[in-house]
Amino acid sequence: MIESINLILWSVSLGIGLVVTLVALILLLIIIGDAKTIHFAVSKIWDTGQKVANNTIHIPILKKTSDNLEKTLNSAVNCIEFTNPK
């Protein structure tokens, strides 16, 4: 009688262990899926940030270009005024 109770308890504990293991496996698979989703989103944010940083590098160059265009425009206006007969 005691041996059959021990066998039943052993079987029940193995069954509970199997259920716990399966639940842990399912939860880990969910976590892995979420981690992949997060990694994909972070990668897109990182790439976008790098593009923004690359564009901000060129802002001083654009300022210099704007200044040069203004000087060129002033020179062109002076040339036009100089060549117009009065």
17 vs 7: CA distance, rounded Å: 15
Domain total in the chain: 1
Q: What is the pTM of this model?
A: 0.57
54 vs 47: CA distance, rounded Å: 11
Per-residue pLDDT tens digits for 20-31? 999 999 999 999
Residue 38's identity, in one-letter code, is I
Query: Whole domain around residue 13: which residue ranges?
Result: 2-83
Per-residue pLDDT tens digits for 44-56? 999 999 999 888 8
Coil, helix or strand for 58? coil
Mean pLDDT of the chain: 90
Among 19, 20, 41, 39, CA closest to 31 = 39
| Three-point CA angle 63, 66, 69, nearest 5° | 155
